[in-house]
Structure 1
């Protein structure tokens, strides 16, 4: 619930930023000086890029959460057998020890989104966020295609 509230706050702040950026962009363009016009145009482009990035991240999170809920309903989520650190995160050494099983399952069934999603969870537990996101994106793409 906290995460959803944080996302809502970020979206509201981005919307407020867009209103002010567009307003000041119009003011700068209205000045007519080449430098001011360039800055005004930048005030239109940069918020659009930020908005696109935020929308892409929110869509990724929503789609990944849907897959997690679906996999949990099927009973396919890995159970919490791994030891935790005092911080509550999974011990990376223990995650690395069970990682080959998830990797082998994905290699055995490369067209199954479930194996990719579990592989993403294994990458995340091992602390490799970049590969976790990559594997989760693969799972999302496979679930949408099939």
Structure 2
């Protein structure tokens, strides 16, 4: 829950910042000076890119959470009984032991979003965030194309 509050706070702060940038862009454009107009136009493009990236991240999180809820409601999520480090994080060595089973499931059922999501959860438990996001994106893509 703390992570969600932090993400929402950061998103709100980014939107406020983007509002100031857009306002400043119009001020620059309104000066009538060539260089200032060019800078103002550039400042209008950057918030569009940031807004698109923010939308993608929020959509990724919401879609991933929805898939986890679907699997949880069906009782298909693995039990989180991994040993914990003093920090509370899962022991990555123990999490790594899950990989062969989840990789085999993905190889046997490459079109199963459930298999990809479980692989993503295993990567996340081991601390490999980039592969966790990749596998979760595959799960989201497969679920969206199936349904």
**TM-score using structure 1 length:** 0.93
Question: How many correspondences in the alignment?
Answer: 146
The match for 1:143 is 143
The match for 1:117 is 117
User: 1:52 deviation in Å?
Assistant: 0.8
1:38 aligns with 2:45: no
SS at match of 2:84: coil
Alignment map for 1:8-87 (pairs within 5 Å): 8-87=8-87
The match for 2:108 is 108
User: 1:10 deviation in Å?
Assistant: 2.5
Q: Which runs of 5+ in 2 are unaligned?
A: none
* Distance of 2:4 and 2:125 partners within structure 1: 22
User: 1:82 deviation in Å?
Assistant: 1.4
Show CA shifts across 1:4-58 (max 9, x none). 3323323322232222112111111111222211211121111111111111000
Q: Which runs of 5+ in 1 are unaligned?
A: none
1:6 aligns with 2:19: no
**TM-score using structure 2 length:** 0.92
Q: CA RMSD in A?
A: 1.3
* Distance of 2:4 and 2:129 partners within structure 1: 20
* Distance of 1:28 and 1:52 partners within structure 2: 23
- Bigger drift between 13-22 and 94-103 goes to 13-22
SS at match of 2:122: helix
User: 1:98 deviation in Å?
Assistant: 1.8
* Distance of 2:123 and 2:26 partners within structure 1: 46
Show CA shifts across 1:76-116 (max 9, x none). 11111211111111111111122111110111111111000
* Distance of 2:121 and 2:109 partners within structure 1: 16
* Regions of 4+ moved over 4 Å: none
* Distance of 1:89 and 1:6 partners within structure 2: 19
